[in-house]
Chains A and B, each alone.
Chain A
């Protein structure tokens, strides 16, 4: 093992490097997370408006329904871009955990979604295969994978 003498200057330089930068990792992640929450909130609100607006607010007026759909898509694009930015801001381990969880959620959605719709088409199941169940399943798979990844590398 090599021994190394540290001069005052070297140690001073090192300590300077240890000072958390103003735009450090924690600060960037905080900003990025707040942006992500805002866009997810905006998308959820736009989706609710599109789902319930035609029936409860504007009595199925076509123009307003199309406008709500456009707003939902725009908020969705914003949410995707915010998520992309969030993933880019993550450090390499956090990104690995996040992408693993995303991969598992997509996989679970695919392997559960296809038999789900086939069973519905052939009346094996006696209720309508609602797309919402698939979204909930994917969400749960993502959360469980994320928690497992965080626990694994704790």
Chain B
């Protein structure tokens, strides 16, 4: 799963520690999410969305989603 957490944080000039405090997690967790090493749970993703006043899908998106959409489209026409 990819995410725009680092970009959104940078746009607001927040540090990882500040974001971690706001989301009630450790700084290590923020770093691991930003670098794509760890996918957050749904409640944490919702908290991030609420904090940035965005929809979840505007922050997190599935890497395979485009491929899946193409496959579904292909199947529809077969």
**B is bound to A:** yes
A residues lining the B interface (CB < 8 Å): 2, 4, 6, 10-11, 14, 17-21, 24-26, 29, 91-94, 96, 150, 152-154
In the complex, are the beta carbons of A25 and B21 less than 8 A apart? yes
Which residues from chain A contact B38 at a C-beta distance below 8 Å?
93, 96, 153
B residues lining the A interface (CB < 8 Å): 12, 14, 18-22, 24-26, 28-29, 31-32, 37-38, 40-41, 44, 51-54, 58
Which residues from chain A contact B29 at a C-beta distance below 8 Å?
91-94
Give me 12 other A-B pairs in contact (C-beta within 8 A), A94-B28, A153-B28 excluded: A10-B53, A11-B12, A24-B24, A25-B24, A25-B26, A91-B25, A92-B25, A92-B41, A94-B26, A150-B28, A153-B31, A153-B38
Report Cα–Cα, A93/B41, bound state, in Å: 10
In the complex, are the beta carbons of A93 and B14 less than 8 A apart? no
Report Cα–Cα, A92/B25, bound state, in Å: 8
Which residues from chain B contact A154 at a C-beta distance below 8 Å?
28, 31-32
Which residues from chain A contact B58 at a C-beta distance below 8 Å?
2
B31, B32, B54: most-surrounded residue (chain A CB, <10 A): B32
Q: How far is the CB of B62 from chain A (nearest CB, A)?
A: 17
Task: Tell me whether chain A's interface is mostly helix, strand or loop, or mixed.
Answer: helix
Partner of B26, one of A10, A11, A14, A91: A91
Which residues from chain B contact A21 at a C-beta distance below 8 Å?
21, 24
In the complex, are the beta carbons of A92 and B44 less than 8 A apart? yes
Which residues from chain A contact B25 at a C-beta distance below 8 Å?
25, 91-93
- Could you jot down 27 A-B contacts, CB within 8 Å? A4-B54, A6-B53, A14-B51, A17-B22, A18-B14, A20-B21, A21-B21, A21-B24, A24-B21, A25-B20, A25-B21, A25-B24, A26-B21, A91-B24, A91-B25, A91-B26, A92-B25, A92-B29, A92-B41, A92-B44, A93-B26, A93-B38, A94-B29, A96-B38, A150-B28, A153-B37, A154-B28
Report Cα–Cα, A25/B24, bound state, in Å: 5
In the complex, are the beta carbons of A18 and B44 less than 8 A apart? no
B18, B26, B37, B54: most-surrounded residue (chain A CB, <10 A): B26
Closest to A91 in B: B25
